[in-house]
Amino acid sequence: MDAPHTHTAGRAGSAAAVGDRDQTSACLQQSAHYASFTVQTHANHAFPQPPPASLSAYAAMTGASPVELKFPLELAWQFKLMDKPKGQAEMLVSSAVVRSGKVYTGCKDGKFFCLDLVTGKELWKTEAKGAFDGAAAFAGDLVVAGCQDGFVYAWNADTGKEVWKFETQAEIHAAANVWTNPETKAQKIIIGSYDYSIYCLDAKTGVKEWAAETGYYINGGSAVGDGKVVFGGCDSVLHVHDVKTGKEERQIEVGAYIGNNVAIADGVIYVSHYGNRVGAYRIADGMKVWEYGEREFEYYAAPAIWDKGVYVGGRDKRFHAIDRVTGAQLWEFRARDRIDSSAVICAGKVAIFGCDDGYIYALDLKTGKEVWHNEIGAPVKTSPAIAGQYVIFGADDGVMYVFKNGK
């Protein structure tokens, strides 16, 4: 049996020191990657795309799904992924991703699971020496995820056999993303690290295609659109790079830590951040289109985009609907605690997300009125995975909850 390939990142300049983490605790959060069937937006209208190789978010990270949910959802099964350590306050599990009837997720204790979507039966698991915070992605027959031990791992999605791993110089909290070169059809893994760098790796081999250094930790996943890769960091900057070469094209100052994914739609970057604001910026020149912020509470959850709206939860205990063109508020919904879960928009009808109050909520996209809720009993920071008839959440009790469409 061939041994997996291991690659190591060389890096100019100083590596990120793990001991520096207290200086930027706002960026030491889970990277709640979208995990759903998705759509591509065009000209302020969304149209379904065939499910990509990954059922995680489309490369632009718009957080939309063509699946129509029927309420009330019914609990199909639950699976204990790990026990909560005493005093543990952070998220225990990463957002799940789904493909070919299998659910994949990582845990704070270093385990990575593959479960049967219908039954919840464990199909395989593997273990690393660090926590898995960011969601995985699919490329070919591989499932790929970053780990806090500094490695990017690629396993055979069916068997769990390690195919390759790539070593960065610090922890990885970010979700993985997959970009397909339109000319060669070759798939690339794009992922950020706490060594201040963003990496583009060949998906088949794990060999580094390019790397670009920034000014601080990269905590969230990267979005790809218009030939650019865009990501935020703990340096309070939106970074725009050429996705083929990694060459930096511009930096956009937003004034505060960016803890999660950004989204791209129609040449505009949408970002939420710790400066208590949601903003829209043009990719072409970096100009600010608008900025939204009603209260002095930060945003950790990533924005979702659908048609003429931007939808995002905040630490003000509210879920906000914002006009994509003007930045004006369309409506808001009040929960009982902060919302760190990045929502998914389903069939343009509902937004579904978790909350630290221990509930999962589904809201009517037009009115913001509650369509359905379910009490989990533990904070839900993960983004939902939407796969066919199933909705998957991980919670801070270390349990995966899988719901099925109502009849």
The tens digit of pLDDT for each residue in 86-110 reads: 766 666 899 999 999 999 999 999 9
Q: Give the model's pLDDT for residue 156.
A: 99
Give 13: exposed, middle or buried? Use CB within 10 Å, 0-12, 13-18, 19+.
Answer: exposed
For residues 291 and 36, which has the higher predicted lDDT (pLDDT)? 291
For the chain, percent of residues with pLDDT exceeding 70: 85
For residues 39 and 332, which has the higher predicted lDDT (pLDDT)? 332
Range with the poorest average pLDDT among 187-196, 249-258, 288-297, 359-368? 288-297
**Is 0.85 surpassed by the pTM of this model?**
yes
CA distance 240 to 67: 31
CA distance 343 to 327: 18
65, 66, 71, 75: CA torsion to nearest 10: -60
Q: Give the model's pLDDT for residue 58.
A: 61
Q: Give the model's pLDDT for residue 85.
A: 72
Q: Give the model's pLDDT for residue 37.
A: 33
330, 332, 333, 338: CA torsion to nearest 10: 140
Are 403 and 373 in contact by the 8 Å Cβ rule? The answer is no
DSSP annotation of 377: S
Asked if the model's pLDDT at residue 237 lies above 70, the reply is yes
Q: Give the model's pLDDT for residue 27.
A: 56
For residue 359 the two structure tokens come to 């509930």
Structural domains of the chain ordered from first start: 5-404 (2.130.10.10)
Question: In which residue are the tokens 């956009």 written?
Answer: 252
Asked if the model's pLDDT at residue 43 lies above 90, the reply is no
The mean per-residue pLDDT over the stretch 244-268 comes to 95
Asked if the model's pLDDT at residue 14 lies above 80, the reply is no
The tens digit of pLDDT for each residue in 285-304 reads: 999 999 999 778 999 999 99
Largest CA distance in the chain: 59
Q: Give the model's pLDDT for residue 89.
A: 63
Closest listed residue to residue 152, CA positions, set 11, 15, 4, 20: 4
CA distance 300 to 317: 12
The tens digit of pLDDT for each residue in 181-214 reads: 999 999 999 999 999 999 999 999 999 999 999 9
Q: Give the model's pLDDT for residue 40.
A: 26
For residue 149 the two structure tokens come to 């031990």
Q: Give the model's pLDDT for residue 88.
A: 65
